[in-house]
Amino acid sequence: MEKWKNRTETIAIVAILAALAVIVLLAVYLQNRPPTLYPGEVRNYQGENLSSISNIVDNAIAGTQFINQTTYHLTVDGLVSNTKQYTYDQVITGFQNYQKVITIYCVEGWNAKIHWQGVLVRDLLNASGVLSSAKVVIFHATDGYTTALPVSYFYANDILLAYKMNDLEIPIEKGFPFQLVAESKWGYKWIKWVNQIELSDNASYLGYWESRGYSNNGTAPGP
């Protein structure tokens, strides 16, 4: 009986080790396999090789947000002279367009160099008139996610609110209609599905992950 018990335990251990080996091999394969390209996405911009859109991991707090473009509105409010509410088309046609190649770095260990196209957050702020008492810009998403950055960050840098990536309209699962391209910041600052930009005097405001211990500054490593 004891011999049979030992044999059973040995078989169980071998099975567990085999399962772990399969998991490790699968993880290595998934990390190194060629990306599945989105139809029509560009992979080179002005001589720079780009990552695929599929290299960006879909890690939302409440799953993909399916937004109806015809009923969508982007609100700019809070400590502003004039609260504004824009349709999707009003944002992309009413403000100057900019393009940039920026790498997003995630605290999970992955990164992706993407060609982004969008409007400057600064232009949206100027259109509403930022009050002198405003210290931070709080971004809200349709899934309840929030993050914040100082007002000064948007006036010292050309920060995009993007509606295209790699020459394609941002896919639904990647953040349609708008994603913040928070250049030089970790990926948790790159909020997706943005539907509100709020000006606040609360310099200590903590967003979703920041309130759970992540750095509020969120400075990421350089390339």
Whether 53 contacts 168, CB under 8 Å: yes
Give me the pLDDT at residue 4, please. 55
Measured distance CA(136)–CA(108) in Å, rounded: 26
Measured distance CA(220)–CA(218) in Å, rounded: 6
Measured distance CA(166)–CA(221) in Å, rounded: 22
Question: In this predicted model, what pLDDT tens digit does every residue of 23-73 receive, in sequence order?
Answer: 555 445 445 556 688 999 999 999 999 999 999 999 999 999 999 999 999
Whether 57 contacts 110, CB under 8 Å: yes
Give me the pLDDT at residue 78, please. 98
Question: In this predicted model, what pLDDT tens digit does every residue of 176-188 receive, in sequence order?
Answer: 999 999 999 999 9
pLDDT greater than 50 at residue 116: yes
How many angstroms from the chain centroid is the CA of residue 48?
Answer: 21
Measured distance CA(57)–CA(99) in Å, rounded: 22
Measured distance CA(21)–CA(23) in Å, rounded: 5
Whether 137 contacts 180, CB under 8 Å: no
**Model confidence, pTM:** 0.84
Give me the pLDDT at residue 219, please. 96
Question: In this predicted model, what pLDDT tens digit does every residue of 163-212 receive, in sequence order?
Answer: 999 999 999 999 999 999 999 999 999 999 999 999 999 999 999 999 99
pLDDT greater than 90 at residue 21: no
Q: Which domains does the chain have, with CATH numbers?
A: 54-212 (3.90.420.10)
Mean of the per-residue pLDDT values of the chain? 91
Give me the pLDDT at residue 166, please. 98
Give me the pLDDT at residue 1, please. 58
- DSSP conformation class of 69: T
Torsion sign over Cα 90, 187, 220, 109: negative
Q: Which residue has 């044999």 as its token pair?
A: 7
Question: In this predicted model, what pLDDT tens digit does every residue of 120-142 receive, in sequence order?
Answer: 999 999 999 999 999 999 999 99
Give me the pLDDT at residue 221, please. 83
